[in-house]
């Protein structure tokens, strides 16, 4: 079997250890880097240039969606497999929008992860039957004109989701600016725009929104 270089990103050490054992049991496969948050995943990807990156959606500092977006922008040949415990329609569409090639529930990893990686490495896609049904239903609804209008929350960009994540985790505007390498004024503008767009009038409302949309794990 040809050599395959993998990056593994999840904020739980025990999950990474289990997945690493599963992956490196495959002949020729090597986990060249591990990361515990999205920002580290991007840095490790740029350093090691893996063939496939496995990213947990609900990582701290930078979520998996924004990490995937940044990796794809810088390394278009690196294929992305998203791992999650969530199965919401909105999250599936967000994963597809950033360019990930596979969406896999962690509960299915032992059974489907190897097949998913082989598929994306061969320039194919991989979705479980449940995810495929959701995608097909969405396509049919669009074709028949019955697709419901997306809410403002569904149209958040990966960067906006990242700002929501940091604010919901109690980060100050100054801390958000430092973590995202933007000016304090830009961070304040992001916060004001998001609070208005999401109709959140307090930090507690923002936290509830982030939990409901799986931007931060429950």
| Rounded CA separation 73/140 (Å) | 30
pLDDT at 206: 74
Burial 166-184 (b: 16+ CB within 10 A, else e): bbbeebebeebbebbeeee
Based on the fold, state whether residues 43 and 113 are members of the same structural domain: yes
Task: Report if residue 196 sits inside a domain.
Answer: yes
Same domain? For 123 and 160 the reply is: no
Q: Residue 24 sits in a domain of what CATH number? A: 3.40.50.2300
Q: What is the pLDDT of residues 160-201, one digit of tens each?
A: 777 877 877 778 889 888 888 889 998 888 888 888 877 777
Beta strands in 1-101 (DSSP E): 4-9, 29-35, 52-56, 79-84
133 and 43, same structural domain? yes
Question: Band of the pLDDT at 151, cuts 50, 70, 90?
Answer: low
- CA gap 167, 149 in Å, rounded: 27
Q: What is the pTM assigned to this prediction?
A: 0.66
State pLDDT tens for residues 47-105.
999 999 999 988 888 889 889 999 999 999 999 999 887 666 677 777 877 888 888 88
Q: What percent of the chain has pLDDT over 70?
A: 79
Residue 87's pLDDT is 65
pLDDT at residue 33, rounded to an integer:
97
72 with 162, same domain? Answer: no
Other CB atoms within a 10 A radius of the CB of residue 89 amount to 13
- Please tell me the predicted confidence (pLDDT) of residue 34: 97
Number of domains in the chain: 2
Distances (CA, A) of 75 to 30, 43, 54, 191, 213: 19, 12, 14, 30, 28
Q: Provide the pLDDT for residue 71.
A: 95
Residue 173 sits in a domain of what CATH number? 1.10.10.10
Helix or strand or coil: residue 198?
coil
Asked if the structure places residue 218 within a domain, the reply is no
Give start and end residues of each alpha helix (H) in 76-183. Answer: 89-98, 109-121, 129-144, 158-168, 173-180
Give the CA radius of gyration of the chain. 18
| Structural domain of 162 | 152-212
pLDDT at position 1 over 50: no
Tell me: do 164 and 107 sit in the same domain: no
pLDDT score recorded for residue 128: 74
Q: Read off the pLDDT of each residue in 109-115 and give the average, rounded to a whole number.
A: 89
| Angle at 154 (CA atoms; ends 187, 178), nearest 5 degrees | 20
Q: What is the pLDDT of residues 6-51, one digit of tens each?
A: 999 999 999 999 999 999 999 999 999 999 999 999 999 999 999 9
Q: Which long-range contacts (CB under 8 A, 24 or more apart) does 145-151 make?
A: none
């Amino acid at each position: 079997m040809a050599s395959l270089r993998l990056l593994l990103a999840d904020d739980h050490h025990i999950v990474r250890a289990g997945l690493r054992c599963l992956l490196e049991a495959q002949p020729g496969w090597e986990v060249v880097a591990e990361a515990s948050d999205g920002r580290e995943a991007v840095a490790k990807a740029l350093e090691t240039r893996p063939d496939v990156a496995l990213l947990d959606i609900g990582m701290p500092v930078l979520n998996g969606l924004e990490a995937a977006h940044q990796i794809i922008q810088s390394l278009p040949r690196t294929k992305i497999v998203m791992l999650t415990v969530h199965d919401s329609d909105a999250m599936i569409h967000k994963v597809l929008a950033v360019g990930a090639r596979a969406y896999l529930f962690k509960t299915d990893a032992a059974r489907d992860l190897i097949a998913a990686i082989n598929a994306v490495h061969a320039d194919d896609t991989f979705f479980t039957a449940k995810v495929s049904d959701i995608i097909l239903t969405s396509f049919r609804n669009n074709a028949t004109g019955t697709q419901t209008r997306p809410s403002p929350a569904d149209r958040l960009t990966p960067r906006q989701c990242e700002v929501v994540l940091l604010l919901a985790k109690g980060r100050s505007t100054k801390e958000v600016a430092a973590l995202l390498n933007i000016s304090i004024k830009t961070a304040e503008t992001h916060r004001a725009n998001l609070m208005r767009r999401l109709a959140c009038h307090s930090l507690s409302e923002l936290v509830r929104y982030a939990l409901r949309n799986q931007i931060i794990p429950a």
